[in-house]
Every structure is written in structure tokens, then in C-alpha cells.
Structure 1
Amino acid sequence: MERYSRIAIILHWTIAALLAFQISLGWGLEEAGARGFAAFQLHKSIGISILVLTLARIAVRYWKPRPAPMEGGLTGALAKAVHLGLYVFMLGGPLTGWALVSTAKVTVPTLIFGTIPLPHLPLPHGVHEAAENAHGLIAWIGIALFLLHVAGALRHHVLMRDGLIYRMVPARSLGMMLALIAAIPAGLFLGKAILPKGVAASAPAAVADNAAEAVDMAEANVADAAAGNVVEAVADNAAEAAEEAPAGPPPVWTVQPGGKIGFSVTNDGDTIAGGFSRWTADIVMDPDHPETASISVDIDLASASVGDPTQTSMLAGDEFFGVAAHPRAKFVAKGAEKTGANSYRAKGTLTLKGVSKPQAIRFTLSGTGLKRKVEGTGTIARAAFGVGNGDSSGGLAPNVSLTFAFDAAGKLP
């Protein structure tokens, strides 16, 4: 029996498995909401892959000779119509999806499998609804054509027993045929399996930490309002410190390599966590006399990352950090207070995205002498700084949790 070329066979079953995966995955994306961000990115990557493979399949169709049709008449014409419809589906589905994301109100970059940037189509936003409707309609038509194609293959193999399906199998082997067919339900299963299962457990302990840090932030705001401004609050601290002078000049601390500043925020129940890879800190403080503290931390906002390339690239935009206009964030505090045996709290000012607001942090010191380990937390009300001010941020929690940890070596002046 004359068969399709080996490359045509490979493309046929690969596209079929990917279509099954794509249909299964796409069905659950609307319910997944923000929790399905990674799955949505994969859906786009698979869609473009199907588009490329379909173009290759069309090229092979005209490059390599095909077996002659086994039926004519009405059934032959129906088979040709189904094949033509499937090609429209395989091209139209990815293209309307591409148009959909290119015209969405929320601009989300597309990175194919997290690496290759896909430019948006130069289409007006007004076609978004039409693209969305067409994408959904094509999906349903594609499912119907898919089922007709399978039904036709089964008719030939089971009822007519003409072995037609073996034309799309590398060898006349029942085991190989079944293995290739099994790729279809496998794709359906995997598409469903990668969807998020319920709401991720954002631990109660993390919620408690957020609440405690929110109290710190509120205290800082109240203190600022009562005193009039941060400068007056610092002056009050300095006046109190003068009553109990430190034993000597406070040490100057140098942050050692390997330190981390991280952040996390819940998004529709899931937690997005990331950090900054570039930052510096200037610290002067006597742990026994924390009122001597002078803390300045400078953060390169362009170094922010959340692990996912697409979401990371969005952080630099105006909706979040606005790196082009405000490349750096800075926290400055004068003086600190002891809250426990090795625990401290510093109230200062955070400048982020051109806005300066009171900010409190808590930290602990471990170690002795001029070798200390610093670990701390803070809570930032993102809306006060215009962070997360767009449509894609609707599911973000109002407070962002901050964590930091580093080793520091002290030196007496």
C-alpha cells in the first residue's frame, strides 16, 4: 500500500497530538483566571508551534507525492472538505489567537516557550472582540472536523477494512498504529493535567506576617501625620538619643556577597514571588545603641525577576515599576528601636516610582562583634506608589511582602 512520506506522517501525528493538548488546555483557561498565567503562556506557544508545523505540512503536501484518493463521489468530496476544513482550523486557530492577544486591553508580551519574543500583530484594538469570537468559533468547528476525521478513519478501518489508516503509519504494524493513535488521548490528558488545581495554599503564617507588617506601616503613617513629616520624627528620635549617648562611634557595616532581597504578592489566591539581583546598602549602626542607625538601601528595579520571563518583562513597564522613568528605589532610615533581644524596627522613607512614603521594616541580628547576619521583613502598600495600576493587576493583593537576608562585616571608624 502506498503511504504518505515519513515527514508527512511525523507532522500529521505531531499536529494531531498538539491539537488535542491545545483543545483540552484551552477549555480550562477561562476558569483558571490569573492562576493560569503560565498555562496561558504555554497555550500561546503551542498555538504558534501548530501554525509553524501546519505551514510545514502544507509545504510537504506539495513537495512530496501523496497517495491517490481511495474514494470518489460524495464520500470522497466530503473527505476532501473535512481535510480542507482542518487546514483552515489549524491555520485560523493560531492566527485568531495571535490577533486576540495582540489587541487585548492588557498588553502581555509573548515569549515562545519563555525564550523567543513574538511581536504583536499591527491590528487596532477595535478588532479584539471579533478576534475573540472567531477564535472560539473556530475551536468548536475544529473539534467537529476533528471528530469527523476520526469517524472517517474508523469507517475505513473497521467497516470497510481497507487498511486506509496504515497509509499514515510508517509500517503496517498494529502496535505502531495504536501507539500513534494513543498520542491523541495522551494530549487531551496532559492538557487537562497542567491546569492549576484549586487555589494554591498561601500559608496562614504568611498572612499573619503580612498583618504584623501592615501594623508597622500604619504606625509609621500615624507617626508621620502626628509629627507633620519624617524629618520632625527623626529629630524627635535624635533628641531622645541625646539623653543616652552611645559609648562610641557606631560601626560601619559592609554587606557581604550572597545577600538577597525578595518580594511576594498573592494574585487571585496564588503567590507570585521574586527578588532583585542588584542592590547596595550603606549601614551604620551600633546594635547596643540602635538609635545611632543610619540605613540607606538602593535597589536597581531593572534587576527584578519573578522566574517567568513574560511576567518579569512586564515588571519594567509603567503598570509596575516604570523603570524607564524611575530606574531605582531607595529606602532611608535614621535611627532604629529595639523590639526584643535581637530584634529591631526601623522607620524611614521609601522612594519608589517617584513617590516617597513612610515605611517601616523589622529585622533581627545574629552573631557577635563585627560579624552579623541580618534577616528582616517589610510590607509595602503597592497602590500608594502606583505599582500594579493596570487591568492585569486586578487580582493582586494590596500589600507586597518584602524579605531580606545578608551577612555584614563591621568596621569601627
Structure 2
Amino acid sequence: MQRYSLVAIILHWAIAALLAFQISVGWALEDLGARGFALYQWHKSVGITILLLTLLRIVMRYWKPRPPKLEGGWQGALASAVHGGLYAFMLGAPLTGWALVSTAKVKVPTLLFGVLPLPHLPLPASAHDLAEGGHGLIAWLGIALFLLHVAGALRHHFLMRDGLIWRMIPGRSTLLLIALPALILLGLVVGQAILPGAAPQMAAPVEAPEVTENIAEPVNLVEAAPDNAASNAAEAAPEEPVGPPPAWTVQPGGTIGFTVGNDGQTISGSFAKWTAEILMDPDHPDSADIKVSIDMASASVGDAYQDGMLPGDEFFAVASHPTATFTAKGAEKTGTNTYRATGTLSLKGVTKPQTIRFTLTGDGATRKVAGTATIARSAFGVGNGQSSGGLAPQVKLSFAFTARQKD
């Protein structure tokens, strides 16, 4: 029986094993968040490898034509359609994945196997949804074609017993007949084995919460002069508090979110881990003592590619500066239930003046807090690389939580 060329056989089993790896890894990528960043890089690297091997396989088909078909009729037509679909899958999946990465809001650099940079395709950002949908659809169709191809091979070998599979085995070796198909199983096993271990999931990104009309627009102290309320407060003698300000405990379910413009679009994210120490008498805010600490490693924008970049030196430099801290001694009332606190923000090893504005609603021992701030990211060295060129200079921060007065 005429066999495929040795090069075609090697390419066939290599691509099959790599496809099995991609399928195995693909099941889990969407649920990994930032933990899957390194795996995404591998997924992209293997995808481009499959693309290159498929192009080589196509060249080989014309250089050394495949053996003649053994089956005609509708069965032969189905087999040819499955083969054609597999080639479309092996070309389309990597290309749509490449397009997806190239049109993402934040351009994440791709290093193939950590060495060779892969340039982004010159596609408009508007193509991102199409690329993302196409990549997912092609992946599912590819899995179906992959299974049909395997089922067809098993049918020929065990039911028809026509020896078709030997055309893809270099020599009539039982050992190779077992070992080569086992590469597919190996690809599936390796894909599962390198998945990151279970870890707490990051909070989903949150949009900036709505705030009441009484809240003034967020102001960065570095960039804005004091308004009339601040001037009047400076001239007036502060009221003496009745007693020490009460302490408040933040209840579960609070959020700290952020948004930043990026080439006409908006990136929204949140911090899953943070703590707040609050001493404040709403009637005598000048005695307030506020400290908020944010775990920067818990930042997420809901996209594993982008989440993987946030801990790096270009953005938060989590390894050397794992925590951002806002502290303020005293606050001032700016309207009915509205306040402003001026303090300092320490982020990425830099400490700068910062103002936050917030409202308190409710009464008694439980208050709802909602507020905003605007942070000049460049002052803290956040977003200082090539992939940050489209980011707006101001990052809008929003927070909302419930606080209960300690007994």
C-alpha cells in the first residue's frame, strides 16, 4: 500500500498532538484570569506553530501528492470534506487568535516561546469582536472535525479492516501504530498537567458606580486649585469634636473599581482585595483618620492577556510594591451628605497628594459610602511602556461600600 511521505507523516502526527494540546488548554483559559497569562503565551506560541506547520503541510501536498482515495461515494465525499475542514481549522484558528490579540484594547506583546516577538496584525480595534467570535466558533467546529477524523480512522481500521491507517505509519510497525496515536493523548494530558493550580478567583471588573448629583466632579489636588468651599474652610476655625471619632468596619461586598480611556474605548477593572481603617464623626469630619490599603496583585480587568500585564513593571510593579495606600487626616463637608478628604496616595513607590470625594447616606450605626477620585497615572509611573501609548492620562477611581460603627 502506498504511504504518505515521511515528512507528511511527521507533520500529521506533530500537528495532531499540538491540536490536542490546544484543545486541552483551551477549555480552561477563560476561567484562569491573570493566573493564565503564561499559559496564554504558550497557547499563542503553539497556535502560530500549528499555522506554520500547516502551511508546510500544504506545500508538501503539492510537492508529493497524497496516495489515492480508497473509498468513493458519499463516504469518500464526507472524508474529503472533513479533511478540507481540518485544513480550514488549522489555518483559521491561529489567524483569528492572532487577530484577536492584535485588536485587544491593551496591546499585549507576544513572545513566541518567550524568545521571538510576534508583531500585531494591522487591524482596526472594531474587528476585535468579530475575531473573538470567529476564534471561538472555529475552535468548536475544529473539535467536531477532529473527532470525526479520528472516528473515520477507527472505522477503517477496526470495521473495514482495509489498512488505511498504515498509510500514515512509517513502516508496518505495531509499536508505531500504538505510539503515534498516543501522541494525541499525550497532548491532552500535557495540556491539563500545566494548568495553574486552583487559587482564589479575582473579582469581576465593575463599572464605576453611579453617584449622586450632589458629588462634585473628582479633582486631583496636584492639578486643581482649592475651590471656594476649601478656601472658606481654611479661613474658618474648625469645630471642636464632641469626643473621639467613632471607628467604622467595612462590611463584605464593597467594591473599588477603576476606568481608563484607551484609544476611544474604556477599560474597566476592579481590585478584589483591599482593607479600610476609618475613624470619622460625620458631624465633625475634621477629626477623621482614614487609611485604605489595596492589594495591587488583585487588580483585574476581566481579560487574562491584560491581567497578566498589570503586575509587571510597566503598570503596578507588584513584586516590589505589592500595596497601594491612601491616608488622610481630617475631611471636610462640602454639601448635604457630601465630603472631601485630602491626603496622600502611595503607589508604586511614589507618594503624591490626592483628594477623594464621597457621600454618606443613612443614619445611626450603618452608613453607605460611595465616592470617586481621579488619579494622574504618569505621576506614579503607571503605564510607562509601549503598550500604554493609547491610555488616557487620568484614571477614574470609584468605590462603594457599607460601613458599620464599632461598639
Q: Give the TM interval when normalised to the shorter protein.
A: 0.5 to 0.7
Taking the TM superposition and a 5 Å limit, the aligned residue runs for 1:6-405 are 11=13, 45-48=43-46, 51=49, 89-90=52-53, 148=59, 164-165=68-69, 173-186=76-89, 191-192=95-96, 195=100, 196=103, 198=126, 216-218=219-221, 221-223=224-226, 240=236, 242=238, 244-405=239-400
Distance change (3 Å), C-alpha of 1:186 and 1:374:
same
Cα displacement string for residues 232-280 of structure 1 (whole angstroms, at most 9, x for unaligned residues): x99x9687353x3345443211112232222232333443333323322
Asked whether the equivalents of residues 252 and 411 of structure 1 are also in contact (C-alpha less than 8 Å), the reply is: yes
| TM-score of the pair, normalised by structure 2 | 0.54
Matching residue's letter, 1:47: S
What CA distance in whole angstroms lies between the structure 1 residues aligned with 2:309 and 2:225? Answer: 33
Q: Is the 8 A contact 1:364 1:374 kept in 2?
A: yes
- In structure 1, C-alpha distance between the alignment counterparts of 2:235 and 2:350, rounded to whole Å: 28
- For 1:188 and 1:316, how far apart are their aligned partners in 2? 33
- Rounded to whole Å, the distance in 1 between the matches of 2:3 and 2:355 is 72
Residue 350 of structure 1: how far off its partner (Å): 0.9
Shift of residue 283, structure 1, vs aligned partner: 0.9
Secondary structure, counterpart of 2:84 in structure 1:
helix
> Could you tell me how far 1:42 is from its partner in structure 2?
5.8
Q: Which amino acid aligns with 2:225?
A: V
Shift of 1:329: 1.6
For structure 2, the 5+ residue unaligned runs are 21-35, 104-124, 130-206
SS in 2 for 1:407: strand
CA distance in 2, matches of 1:327, 1:293: 26
Amino acid across the alignment from 1:387: V
Distance in 2, matches of 1:217 and 1:250, equals 27
Structure 1 residues 331 and 47, CA gap change in structure 2 (3 angstroms): closer
2: CA distance, partners of 1:378 / 1:283: 17
- In 2 relative to 1, CA 394–250 (structure 1 residues): closer, same or farther, beyond 3 Å? same
Residue by residue over 1:140-172, the C-alpha shift from the partner in whole angstroms, topping out at 9 and shown as x without a partner, is xx85x666556679x88xxxxxx72559x9x95
Name the aligned partner's letter for residue 389 of structure 1.
N
Distance 2:298 2:88 in 1: 42
SS of the residue corresponding to residue 219 of structure 2 reads helix
Q: After superposition, what is the alpha-carbon deviation per residue over 1:81-111, rounded to whole angstroms, capped at 9, x for unaligned? A: xxxxx9xx42xxxxxxxxxxxxxxxxxxxxx
1:199-251 Cα offsets, whole Å, 9 max, x none, are: 889xxx98x99xx9876115775349xxxxxxxx99x9687353x33454432
- Amino acid in structure 2 at the alignment position of 1:404: F
- Displacement after TM superposition at 1:397 (Å): 1.5
Separation of aligned partners in 2, 1:44 and 1:328: 29
Deviates more, 1:252-261 or 1:315-324: 315-324
CA–CA distance in structure 2, aligned partners of residues 16 and 178 of structure 1: 22
- TM-score with structure 1 setting the length: 0.54
Q: As a proportion of its length, which structure holds more helix?
A: 1
Q: 1:239 to 1:245 in 2, by over 3 A?
A: farther
* Separation (CA, whole Å) in 2 of partners of 1:14 and 1:249: 71
Aligned partners of 2:315, 2:16: CA distance in 1, in Å?
Answer: 39
Change (3 A) 1:146 1:251: same
* Aligned-CA RMSD value: 4.7
> Which whole-Å CA distance do the structure 2 matches of 1:385 and 1:395 have between them?
17
Give the Cα–Cα distance (whole angstroms) in 2 for the partners of residues 16 and 297 of structure 1.
47
Q: CA deviation at 1:2?
A: 6.0
- Cα pair 1:302 1:323 within 8 Å, conserved: yes
